[in-house]
Amino acid sequence: MNLAGIVLLCAAAAVAAPMYFHRFQGRDNRYLYTASAVSLVLLGAAALAGSLGGGGLGRGVYAFAVAAAAIGGGPATVTILRLSFNASHPENTADPEDAPVLRGGAWIGVLERTSIAATLLAGWPEGLAVVLAVKGLGRYSELGQAGAAERFILGTFASVLWAAAATGIAVMVR
Protein backbone atom coordinates (compact mmCIF):
# COMPACT_ATOMS: atom_id res chain seq x y z
CA MET A 1 0.00 0.00 0.00
CA ASN A 2 2.90 2.39 0.55
CA LEU A 3 3.77 2.51 -3.11
CA ALA A 4 0.14 3.36 -3.88
CA GLY A 5 0.32 6.21 -1.37
CA ILE A 6 3.38 7.77 -2.98
CA VAL A 7 1.95 7.28 -6.49
CA LEU A 8 -1.25 9.05 -5.42
CA LEU A 9 0.76 11.84 -3.82
CA CYS A 10 2.72 12.34 -7.04
CA ALA A 11 -0.51 12.25 -9.06
CA ALA A 12 -1.90 15.04 -6.85
CA ALA A 13 1.13 17.14 -7.78
CA ALA A 14 0.93 16.20 -11.46
CA VAL A 15 -2.67 17.44 -11.65
CA ALA A 16 -1.50 20.76 -10.24
CA ALA A 17 1.58 21.22 -12.46
CA PRO A 18 -0.17 22.90 -15.44
CA MET A 19 -1.12 25.80 -13.17
CA TYR A 20 2.45 27.05 -13.35
CA PHE A 21 2.37 27.19 -17.14
CA HIS A 22 -1.17 28.47 -17.73
CA ARG A 23 -2.71 31.67 -16.45
CA PHE A 24 -6.14 31.35 -14.90
CA GLN A 25 -7.85 34.52 -16.09
CA GLY A 26 -11.43 35.61 -16.17
CA ARG A 27 -14.41 34.43 -14.20
CA ASP A 28 -14.44 30.92 -15.63
CA ASN A 29 -12.22 29.03 -13.21
CA ARG A 30 -13.49 25.53 -13.87
CA TYR A 31 -10.04 24.12 -14.59
CA LEU A 32 -8.59 25.68 -11.44
CA TYR A 33 -11.41 24.44 -9.21
CA THR A 34 -11.37 21.00 -10.82
CA ALA A 35 -7.58 20.72 -10.41
CA SER A 36 -7.92 21.75 -6.77
CA ALA A 37 -10.67 19.25 -6.07
CA VAL A 38 -8.87 16.39 -7.84
CA SER A 39 -5.60 17.23 -6.05
CA LEU A 40 -7.33 17.26 -2.67
CA VAL A 41 -9.08 13.95 -3.35
CA LEU A 42 -5.78 12.39 -4.45
CA LEU A 43 -4.05 13.81 -1.35
CA GLY A 44 -6.73 12.23 0.84
CA ALA A 45 -6.44 8.92 -1.00
CA ALA A 46 -2.66 9.04 -0.57
CA ALA A 47 -3.12 9.62 3.16
CA LEU A 48 -5.51 6.68 3.37
CA ALA A 49 -3.18 4.41 1.40
CA GLY A 50 -0.23 5.55 3.52
CA SER A 51 -2.05 4.83 6.76
CA LEU A 52 -2.90 1.30 5.59
CA GLY A 53 0.65 0.48 4.49
CA GLY A 54 3.29 -1.43 6.35
CA GLY A 55 6.40 0.67 5.65
CA GLY A 56 9.63 -0.17 3.91
CA LEU A 57 9.89 2.21 0.95
CA GLY A 58 13.02 4.00 2.18
CA ARG A 59 14.05 7.61 2.37
CA GLY A 60 13.85 8.16 -1.38
CA VAL A 61 10.14 8.71 -0.82
CA TYR A 62 11.01 12.05 0.77
CA ALA A 63 12.17 13.50 -2.55
CA PHE A 64 8.78 12.73 -4.07
CA ALA A 65 7.06 14.24 -1.05
CA VAL A 66 9.02 17.49 -1.33
CA ALA A 67 8.16 17.72 -5.03
CA ALA A 68 4.49 16.99 -4.34
CA ALA A 69 4.45 19.56 -1.55
CA ALA A 70 6.06 22.21 -3.74
CA ILE A 71 4.01 21.72 -6.89
CA GLY A 72 0.73 20.39 -5.59
CA GLY A 73 -0.29 23.26 -3.31
CA GLY A 74 -0.65 25.88 -6.02
CA PRO A 75 -4.22 25.23 -7.20
CA ALA A 76 -5.55 24.76 -3.68
CA THR A 77 -3.98 28.05 -2.57
CA VAL A 78 -5.20 29.98 -5.61
CA THR A 79 -8.68 28.48 -5.24
CA ILE A 80 -8.91 29.64 -1.64
CA LEU A 81 -7.76 33.12 -2.67
CA ARG A 82 -10.29 33.24 -5.52
CA LEU A 83 -13.17 32.00 -3.40
CA SER A 84 -12.37 34.47 -0.62
CA PHE A 85 -12.47 37.51 -2.93
CA ASN A 86 -15.58 39.53 -2.20
CA ALA A 87 -16.28 41.87 -5.13
CA SER A 88 -19.08 43.63 -3.25
CA HIS A 89 -16.78 44.78 -0.44
CA PRO A 90 -16.16 48.56 -0.66
CA GLU A 91 -12.36 48.15 -0.80
CA ASN A 92 -12.57 45.60 -3.64
CA THR A 93 -13.52 47.67 -6.65
CA ALA A 94 -11.73 45.56 -9.25
CA ASP A 95 -11.00 42.00 -10.14
CA PRO A 96 -7.83 40.86 -8.30
CA GLU A 97 -6.31 39.92 -11.67
CA ASP A 98 -6.52 43.54 -12.89
CA ALA A 99 -4.17 44.93 -10.23
CA PRO A 100 -2.18 42.04 -8.77
CA VAL A 101 -1.47 42.28 -5.07
CA LEU A 102 1.66 40.57 -3.76
CA ARG A 103 3.28 39.82 -7.10
CA GLY A 104 5.33 36.65 -7.46
CA GLY A 105 3.19 34.78 -4.96
CA ALA A 106 2.93 31.57 -6.98
CA TRP A 107 6.69 31.09 -7.18
CA ILE A 108 7.24 32.25 -3.61
CA GLY A 109 4.65 29.61 -2.64
CA VAL A 110 6.63 26.88 -4.42
CA LEU A 111 9.76 27.85 -2.52
CA GLU A 112 7.83 28.17 0.75
CA ARG A 113 6.28 24.70 0.42
CA THR A 114 9.66 23.20 -0.56
CA SER A 115 11.29 24.75 2.51
CA ILE A 116 8.50 23.65 4.82
CA ALA A 117 8.57 20.06 3.57
CA ALA A 118 12.35 19.93 3.81
CA THR A 119 12.46 21.28 7.36
CA LEU A 120 9.73 18.94 8.56
CA LEU A 121 11.34 15.91 6.93
CA ALA A 122 14.70 16.89 8.40
CA GLY A 123 13.14 16.71 11.85
CA TRP A 124 13.50 20.45 12.42
CA PRO A 125 9.94 21.78 12.88
CA GLU A 126 11.38 25.06 14.14
CA GLY A 127 12.38 25.65 10.52
CA LEU A 128 8.70 26.25 9.80
CA ALA A 129 8.87 29.37 11.98
CA VAL A 130 12.03 30.51 10.21
CA VAL A 131 10.46 30.10 6.75
CA LEU A 132 7.33 32.00 7.78
CA ALA A 133 9.37 34.76 9.47
CA VAL A 134 11.48 35.28 6.34
CA LYS A 135 8.35 35.36 4.20
CA GLY A 136 6.63 37.83 6.53
CA LEU A 137 9.66 40.13 6.66
CA GLY A 138 10.02 40.00 2.90
CA ARG A 139 6.40 41.01 2.38
CA TYR A 140 6.13 43.43 5.30
CA SER A 141 6.29 46.61 3.20
CA GLU A 142 3.52 45.37 0.88
CA LEU A 143 1.05 44.31 3.57
CA GLY A 144 -0.39 47.82 3.91
CA GLN A 145 -2.08 47.61 0.48
CA ALA A 146 -5.82 47.03 0.44
CA GLY A 147 -6.48 43.33 0.83
CA ALA A 148 -2.80 42.36 0.91
CA ALA A 149 -2.71 41.20 4.53
CA GLU A 150 -5.75 38.97 4.07
CA ARG A 151 -4.35 37.45 0.88
CA PHE A 152 -1.00 36.91 2.61
CA ILE A 153 -2.59 35.10 5.55
CA LEU A 154 -4.97 32.98 3.48
CA GLY A 155 -2.30 32.04 0.95
CA THR A 156 0.23 31.22 3.63
CA PHE A 157 -2.18 29.03 5.60
CA ALA A 158 -3.30 27.11 2.52
CA SER A 159 0.27 26.66 1.36
CA VAL A 160 1.57 25.52 4.75
CA LEU A 161 -1.30 23.09 5.25
CA TRP A 162 -0.69 21.49 1.85
CA ALA A 163 3.07 21.14 2.49
CA ALA A 164 2.51 19.69 5.95
CA ALA A 165 -0.04 17.20 4.60
CA ALA A 166 2.26 16.02 1.81
CA THR A 167 5.09 15.68 4.31
CA GLY A 168 2.91 13.74 6.72
CA ILE A 169 1.92 11.32 3.99
CA ALA A 170 5.58 10.71 3.15
CA VAL A 171 6.32 9.94 6.78
CA MET A 172 3.38 7.52 6.88
CA VAL A 173 4.32 5.66 3.70
CA ARG A 174 7.96 5.31 4.70
Tens of pLDDT, residues 79-89: 888 887 765 55
Model pLDDT, residue 12: 85
118 vs 95: which has the higher pLDDT: 118
Question: What's the CA gap between 11 and 6, in Å, rounded?
Answer: 8
Q: What is the arithmetic mean of pLDDT over 98-120?
A: 79
Helices (H) and strands (E) in the chain, counts: 6, 0
3 vs 104: which has the higher pLDDT: 3
DSSP secondary structure string for all residues of 48-81? HHHHH------TTHHHHHHHHHHHHHHHHHHHHH
Contacts of 95-100 with C-beta under 8 Å, sequence gap 24+, read 96/147, 96/151, 97/25, 97/26
> Is 73 in contact with 155 (CB distance < 8 Å)?
no
38 vs 2: which has the higher pLDDT: 38
Task: State the pLDDT confidence band at 23, using cuts at 50, 70 and 90.
Answer: low
Question: What's the CA gap between 164 and 48, in Å, rounded?
Answer: 15
- Express the helix, strand and coil content of the chain in percent, nearest 5 each: 70, 0, 30
Tens of pLDDT, residues 112-144: 999 999 999 999 989 999 998 998 888 777 777
